[in-house]
Amino acid sequence: MTNTLLLDVDGTLVDTNYHHTVAWLRAFRSVGLTVPAWRVHRAIGMGGDRLVEAVAGEHAEAEHGDAVRKAWKDEFDGLLAEVQPLEGAHRLITSAATEHGFAVVLASSGKREHLEHYLDLLDVRDVIAGFTTSEDAEDSKPAPDLLQAALSTVDSERAVVVGDSVWDCDAARRTGLPVVGLLTGGFSEAELREHGASSVYVGLDNLRSDLVDLPFAAV
């Protein structure tokens, strides 16, 4: 029986959530919009196509949405060299794939060029079974499209999702999959559990010690 571990990337494997927050803040300001940082952070993890409206409202999306998204990419690209893997990311992926025989799929909704950078940073190209980017889903998180696309990359019988945001949890629930949460993205344990996480871990090494006990469910 093939077990598939669907891993979110930003905020789960690489420490980017606050870089994204800063990039979005600068992007909003580039079009003359000042929004509170906490509101931007709360939206990190949902698709960029949704974030402008979620943070600043329908009018901001209609008038500035595309410009803000372009400015965000430009700003984030400038921060990319500062990004580091979260502690234990490489160990988690290699342990899941080589010691436990799981099919590990990186279910990212980020830009492909960003994910390519993370794959090198994490040094896991030779052990993962597949990956997704924003190009692979018609609708972004919290819609289930991305996770469904990730599942399609492998022949899986059972799967579990691991993510750091309420948006990951919502997408997993809509896909009908169990989800495990991490505190690495800045969301609280209570929030992650409220959105469906069956368990919540402080970090990736804590999760790695419980890999055999993850709540894999039939796909």
Look up residue 15 and give its DSSP letter. -
pTM: 0.95
Q: How far apart are CA 187 and CA 192, in angstroms?
A: 7
**Amino acid 137: pLDDT:** 86
- Detail the DSSP E strand segments found in the chain: 3-7, 103-107, 130-132, 158-163, 179-182, 197-201, 217-218
Q: What is the pLDDT tens value at each position of the chain, 219 positions in all?
A: 689 999 999 999 999 999 999 999 999 999 999 999 999 999 999 999 999 999 999 999 999 999 999 999 999 999 999 999 999 999 999 999 999 999 999 999 899 999 999 999 999 999 999 999 999 988 888 999 999 999 999 999 999 999 999 999 999 999 999 999 999 999 999 999 999 999 999 999 999 999 999 999 999
Contact in structure between 147 and 175 (CB atoms under 8 Å): yes
**Amino acid 33: pLDDT:** 98
- Cis (ω within 30 of 0) for the bond into 142? yes
**Amino acid 1: pLDDT:** 62
Residue 58: Cβ-neighbour burial (10 angstroms; 0-12, 13-18, 19+):
exposed
Contact in structure between 119 and 125 (CB atoms under 8 Å): yes
